[in-house]
Every structure is written in C-alpha cells, then in structure tokens.
Structure 1
Amino acid sequence: MRAFLTVGSTKFDALVQTALSRAVLDSLNRKGYTELVIQCGGSDFELASSISQDEVFSVLRNGIDITLWRFKPSLNDEYERADIVISHAGSGTILDVLRLGKPLIVVPNPTLLHNHQEELAEALSTLGHLQSSSVSDLARAIETFDSTALVSFPLFDGSRFSRILDEEMGFK
C-alpha cells in the first residue's frame, strides 16, 4: 500500500522530518503500508541536501520504500495512486483530495499566520471528512485512523455559487 505526504508549495520542516521518524514509519508499516512518497517542497530536514530541485531520492527505512522529491506541476496523479494522503492543511490540497474520495490525514502548520489551517482542519474533522493531527501526534493518528468511518465529501456543484450570488443580488 502507498502513502503520499505533501507539504504543497510551502516549507513544513517538522512534518517532513516527523514522517521520516521511526515512530511514523513503524505506524505505517503496522497498517500495511510498504511505500511512502513525500513531496517535501522547500522543507529543510535530515535528507534535504540529497534532493535537488529536479531530483528524486529513494531510500529504504524500517521496511518502507521512501521516495522524496520537491515539486511537480500537478499532484493529482500522486493523489490518485495513494491509498492514504497525509498533508499540510492547505485548502486547495484538502479539496483536491476529498473530491477524489481519498482517505486524508491533515497536519496544520502552526507556524503560519493566524493558524488558519488549524481552523479548516478542525471544521472538516468535526464534520467527519478527514482526520486532523498535530506533528507530534502523527504516528498515533496513523495507527488509529479508520477510513471506513469517514463521511463522504459532497460532490462539486458549480451552479451553487451562481445561485447564491443571484439570491444575494436579488435576481431570484
């Protein structure tokens, strides 16, 4: 099984470093994952110097085949190939993954201004669409994650915005 971790276009050193920790790798292993793909962006972590902008780096740790790279034009293929996605709590990433119906654990980046990721993660976790975790609790979150308990995210309705706008403007 394949886990995909993404930090998006930002730096999230703590998340990438924690994903490479024995505790997280052991949790993934116990849950049956044999592969971990990490999109590490501009993060600085123990293996960062091994990865240039256009390079892929692979290593085997704790029975997990780990592949790391910095950026790709699109992550959709990675989302689709993943059995689980672990991500920063960026709204674009969350929406992309939930619309694909993929199990998702989000880890808000507390270093961001106003910690808006925390609010979004908690709201969607409360609704049952994903599981929210902190960096320090990621190993436990993986161990206790039950994707069968997730509530399906509503399908995209492109006409909804225009209906709301029409109602607000008094056209209906």
Structure 2
Amino acid sequence: MSRRPRKVCFVTIGATAPFDVLLSNVLNKSFLEALQQHEYTTLVIQYGKEGRAVFDKFTKKHAPGSPERCGLDIQGFGFKQDGLLREMRLTKSDDKLDSLEGMILSHAGSGSIMEALRIGVPLVVVPNPALQDNHQEELAREIEKNGWAVTGRLDNLAQSVEKAEDLRRAARSWPPVNSGETKYKRGLAGVMEDEMGFVD
C-alpha cells in the first residue's frame, strides 16, 4: 500500500490568553473526521499557555492508531521563543517532501494572522468570545470580507475545514480574488495588455 502525501493542519491557540474551548473543539471527533475526509495526515497544535492539560488528556486517553484520532498523526507543543514560522511552513506544498498544501487554523490574534497570511495557505480565524473588549470578531469579519481568510465558529469547527477548501479553490480561480469588478474582465489577454502597456 502506497503512503499518502503529507497534508498538515497547523493550529495555533495563542501564547498568552487561554483558549481551551478552541483546543477542545480541535480535538473533537467531528473536526478530526473533517480533516480525515479532506485527506489530512497530520495535525500540529500549538496549545498555548494553559492548554497542555487538555492536550495531554486527549493523547493519553487515545493512543496513536486509535479510532478517535481518525488516522491523524497528532502533535502538540506549548510555546516557542522563536515563533511559529517553522510550523506554519509545514502547511505549504513541497514536491520534494511529498506534501500537499494544508491549512492554518488560528485564534484571532493580529500577530498570528499576519504571520499566517504571509505563508499563503488557506487560513481559518476563530475569535475568542471570552476576551473583554473583543476586537477579534471585527478583525475576523473584515479579513473574511476581503477574501483573505475564513471565520471559524466554535460550535461548528468541522465546517471550517470545508470553508478552507473553498478558500483554496477561490484563490486558484480566475479572475483572482480581490481583482476588482472590472480589472480582469478581459481575462489573461487583458492583464497582459495592461502590463505591457498596450492600449485599444
């Protein structure tokens, strides 16, 4: 039996404010089944300041290979002084490593979002409703409106896997997302004419 190409979902809960409800939903069977359905092989979780107990409880209760892991290699860590760029890059496709493009699921912290957007893979942003003076909902709505990411809902996190796949398809479509109503109306020929300076 041939080995499936690696496809990574990287989840960041954040390093400062606890977001255990997101972590619990990421480890929920419905979310893991959604990843399996879309051919993910690996789930890497940055579980944050206080999430280790939740992560350890799941991994001790459900050993590698158990049905509750839905065929996924599940890994986790708390905090890295040098940032999350290395883990985020695991989600990029790489022919040499036999890996397909995956996705990043992030809490709605602006630093994590900016770093994830630079990677260029589908991004799901999940606001933390427990934060006071919460600007995260507004930030998540704005980046979704612009087609840069999709907003995930805690009560239906599995759906965000499908939304990430839709975002991937939209990013590969023509005309490009955010191209404006008429900018690419004439297709590739129009773009070439504009770039080369041709006029009608």
C-alpha distance in structure 2 between counterparts of 1:50 and 1:22, whole Å? 11
Q: CA deviation at 1:50?
A: 8.4
Counterpart for residue 149 of structure 1: 170
Do the aligned residues in 2 keep the contact of 1:5 with 1:87 (CA within 8 Å)? yes
Counterpart AA for 2:10? F
Retained in 2: the 8 A contact 1:59–1:67? no
1:78 matched to 2:87: yes
2:107 maps to 1:107: no
The answer for unaligned runs of 5 or more in structure 2 is 1-6, 92-101, 172-176, 179-200
Distance in 2 (alpha carbons) for counterparts of 1:114 and 1:48: 31
Is residue 6 from structure 1 mapped to residue 27 from structure 2 by the alignment? no
| Whole-angstrom distance in 2 between the partners of 1:47 and 1:8 | 14
Contact 2:43 2:73 in 1 (8 A): yes
Deviation by residue 1:36-65 (Cα, 9 ceiling, x = unmatched): 0000012345334689xxxxxx84511111
Say whether the 8 Å CA contact 1:16–1:43 is kept in structure 2: no
- Could you tell me how far apart the structure 2 residues matched to 1:37 and 1:80 are? 12
Counterparts of 1:38 and 1:59, CA distance in 2 = 15
The secondary structure found in structure 1 opposite 2:141 is helix
Residue 97, structure 1, aligned to residue 104, structure 2: no
Distance 1:109 1:87 in 2: 10
1:166 — aligned with what? none
Partner SS, residue 33 of structure 1: coil
Q: Which runs of 5+ in 1 are unaligned?
A: 52-57, 153-172
- How many residue pairs get aligned? The number is 146
Instruction: Give the conservation status (yes or no) of the 8 Å contact 1:28–1:143.
Output: no
CA 1:129–1:50 in 2, change beyond 3 Å: closer, same or farther?
closer
Distance 1:43 1:28 in 2: 25
Instruction: Kindly indicate whether residue 158 of structure 2 is the aligned counterpart of residue 139 of structure 1.
Output: yes
Hey, what does 1:23 align to over in structure 2? 30
Whether the 8 Å contact between 2:47 and 2:55 is mirrored in structure 1 is no
Gap change, CA 1:49 and 1:137, over 3 Å in 2 = closer
Instruction: Name the Cα RMSD after superposition.
Output: 2.0
In structure 2, do the counterparts of structure 1 residues 47 and 94 end up closer, same or farther at CA, with 3 Å as the change threshold? Answer: closer
Distance 1:31 1:49, change over 3 A: closer
